[in-house]
């Protein structure tokens, strides 16, 4: 009891301890807050806004077959799917792209272009127009390549990469001797 009596903090000590504790709490809170702000910076969009949709099943299957080296199996799958009267416009568009890809895998650029053109008939998008531009460029058809690179620019969707896509298209046009 005597020792207890000896430890009697005075007011200054108490204030000092409280001050140190306050500094530590503020520092810890600052660290926490800093990390929180770092991780949740500038109005992040809700995660549910991410679609991340898979391709339609037939399209995915056809792509898997093709990537695995079975271009013929992929083409058959595509033909079967296209023969279905109930195929949607969106799926038809993607099937034609896969068909073109399969022909491209087989180095049949003529057939590939034909399929891509069919996709373009269904839906004229930056994706298909730029694909056609690349294919025409690959086959040495500079005029058509330039035409399609030019055609692709106004179709570039709003996206994080839109400036890069535009720059790439313009660079290609210039390389191919066209005027952007």
Residue ranges binding other proteins (CB under 8 A): 20, 23-36, 38-55, 59-60, 63-68, 94, 97-98, 101, 104-105, 125-128, 131, 157, 159-161, 163-164, 168, 171
Compute the least distance from the CB of residue 1 to other proteins, in Å.
31
* For other proteins, the closer CB: 7 or 50: 50
* For other proteins, the closer CB: 4 or 172: 172
- Sign of the CA dihedral with 112 first, then 116, 117, and 119 last: positive
Compute the least distance from the CB of residue 153 to other proteins, in Å.
15
3-state secondary structure the chain: CHHHHHCCCCHHHHHHHHHHHHHHHHHHHHHHHHHHHHHCCCCCCCHHHCCCCCCCHHHHHHHHHHHCCCHHHHHHHHHHHHCCCCCCHHHHHHHHHHHHHHHHHCCCHHHHHHHHHHHHHHCCCHHHHHHHHHHHHHCCCHHHHHHHHHHHHHHCCCCCCHHHHHHHHHHHHHHCCCCC
* For other proteins, the closer CB: 94 or 118: 94
* For other proteins, the closer CB: 4 or 11: 11
* Tokens linked to 1: 């009891």
Compute the least distance from the CB of residue 16 to other proteins, in Å.
9
* For other proteins, the closer CB: 97 or 146: 97
Compute the least distance from the CB of residue 23 to other proteins, in Å.
5
d(C-alpha 148, C-alpha 133), whole Å: 5
Compute the least distance from the CB of residue 123 to other proteins, in Å.
10
* For other proteins, the closer CB: 10 or 49: 49
Compute the least distance from the CB of residue 98 to other proteins, in Å.
7
């Amino acid at each position: 009891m005597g020792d207890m009596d000896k430890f009697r903090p005075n007011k200054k000590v108490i204030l000092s301890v409280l001050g140190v504790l306050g500094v530590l709490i503020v520092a810890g809170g600052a660290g926490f807050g800093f990390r929180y702000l770092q991780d949740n910076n500038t109005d992040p969009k809700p995660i549910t806004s991410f679609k991340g949709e898979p391709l339609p099943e037939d399209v995915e299957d056809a792509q898997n077959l093709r990537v695995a080296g079975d271009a013929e199996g992929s083409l058959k799958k595509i033909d079967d799917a296209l023969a279905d009267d109930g195929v949607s416009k969106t799926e038809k568009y993607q099937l034609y792209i896969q068909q073109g890809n399969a022909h491209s895998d087989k180095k049949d650029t003529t057939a590939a272009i034909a399929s891509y053109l069919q996709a373009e008939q269904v839906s004229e998008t930056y994706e298909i127009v730029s694909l056609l531009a690349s294919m025409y460029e690959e086959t040495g058809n500079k005029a058509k390549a330039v035409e399609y690179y030019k055609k692709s620019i106004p179709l570039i969707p709003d996206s994080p990469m839109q400036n890069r896509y535009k720059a790439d298209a313009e660079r290609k046009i210039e390389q191919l001797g066209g005027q952007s």
